[in-house]
Copies of this chain bind each other. A is one copy, B any other.
Amino acid sequence: MRSSNGLSVRQEKILNYIRDFLKKNNYPPAIRDIQNDLGISSTSVVAYNLRILEEKGKISRDGKISRGISIPGMTLDQTVVTSHGFTVPMLGMITAGSPLPNPEAINVEDAEQIEVPAELGSAEKLRDVYALKVRGYSMVDALIGDGDIVLLRYQETADNGQTVVARLVDENAVTLKKFYHEGERIRLQPANVTMEPIFTTPDNLHIQGRVVGVIRSVE
């Protein structure tokens, strides 16, 4: 049984194991680490599959040298707290009315990461931050336009006037709007004079994050 990328299940497991091991320890695993932790009966089987992984370019090895495995695309970098941005996962697109996959359901590991300028916040502040690409013009009066990337901090509550990603449970829709709690009801206000607000109840609303930054590329 093979998966779509042409690797056997075992090879894929090994590859993932190496990746995880590297992330965790910052040095590569030994063949016997792989063998034991994946429950493989013999080191030669691991060696055999590593050879194939190398032929396919998934890993590269420094022959004979212990733990001489590395994964192309993974590099050891000095993280300089002061001058570096941080990366946040780009989880998709948002349009008024279009469904957005639940961030927690998404494999954040696999999501494309985008770099965020340090000016937009410290590492602390950027915890639980993700990015969405905006489609449409419903927030132009809030200076958010089509094609902009919005940075969102995941939170389930908001203050009046904040711009939030709101999920309407019944409609199963997700939308980017300004949030106003008005007595018993919630008003979701587009920042565009030509558009009407949406009214709903707290029951029907799940806030999925609040806008903390905007990034735009001008061509």
Cα A87 to Cα B77 with chains together (Å): 11
Q: Which of A45-53, A67-75, A92-100 lines the interface with chain B? A: A67-75
Whether A163 is near chain B, meaning CB under 8 Å from some CB there, is yes
Q: Give the residues in chain B near A143, CB-CB below 8 Å.
A: 140, 143-145, 148, 216
Q: Is the CB of B73 within 8 A of A115?
A: no
Q: Is the CB of A216 within 8 A of B213?
A: yes
Q: Give the residues in chain B near A23, CB-CB below 8 Å.
A: 75-76
Q: Which of A2-10, A26-34, A179-187, A196-204 lines the interface with chain B? A: A26-34
A123 CB to nearest chain B CB (Å): 13
A72 CB to nearest chain B CB (Å): 9
From known contacts A66-B66, A87-B83, A143-B140, infer whether A213 and B214 are also in contact, taking CB-CB under 8 Å.
Answer: no
Q: Is the CB of A75 within 8 A of B73?
A: no
Cα A68 to Cα B140 with chains together (Å): 53
Number of copies: 2
Whether A193 is near chain B, meaning CB under 8 Å from some CB there, is no
Cα A214 to Cα B218 with chains together (Å): 8
A60 CB to nearest chain B CB (Å): 9
Q: Give the residues in chain B near A136, CB-CB below 8 Å.
A: none
Whether A215 is near chain B, meaning CB under 8 Å from some CB there, is yes
Q: Is the CB of B26 within 8 A of A74?
A: yes
For A117, give its contact among B68, B116, B140, B163 (CB under 8 Å): B116
Report A's interface with B, CB cutoff 8 A.
19, 22-23, 25-28, 30, 62, 65-71, 73-85, 87, 112-121, 140, 143-145, 148-149, 163, 211-219
20 more A-B residue pairs beyond the given contacts A121-B217, A211-B218, with a C-beta to C-beta distance below 8 A: A27-B65, A27-B68, A30-B65, A66-B66, A73-B78, A76-B76, A80-B112, A82-B112, A82-B114, A83-B113, A85-B117, A114-B117, A115-B117, A117-B215, A120-B215, A143-B143, A212-B219, A214-B215, A214-B218, A215-B216
